[in-house]
Amino acid sequence: MDRTETPCPTCGIWSDASLPVCPSCGAGRISTSVEKPPKPAPEPSALDRFFESWAATKNPLLKGLYLLCKALWMVYMAIIAFILWLIAAAPG
């Protein structure tokens, strides 16, 4: 169940709109509700931008290296997942 949140006119802290006073500073609330602004998308890291430049290139060597790195990463993650599964299954 989504509840409507409003910012406090005094301190700016977001809280439940049904409360008559702000739980942070105790100031009276205005009964109008405002949507909380969406969080901005995180900016990709330098490594992500580097690999995306490899994926978008027309050079077949770099594109092949990108696919090789991606395949090795998938194998590495599969090995880690299998080891974690073994650890979880060992006690029982």
Residue 80 pLDDT? 97
Is the pLDDT at 33 greater than 70? The verdict is no
Contact call for residues 57 and 65 (beta carbons, < 8 A):
no
Residue 90 pLDDT? 87
Q: Which two tokens stand for residue 32?
A: 């109008």
Is the pLDDT at 77 greater than 90? The verdict is yes
Residue 75 pLDDT? 97
Outline where 12-91 has alpha helix (H): 46-56, 60-89
Q: Per-residue confidence at 1, pLDDT binned at 50, 70, 90?
A: very low
Percent of the chain with pLDDT over 70: 87
Give this prediction's pTM.
Answer: 0.48
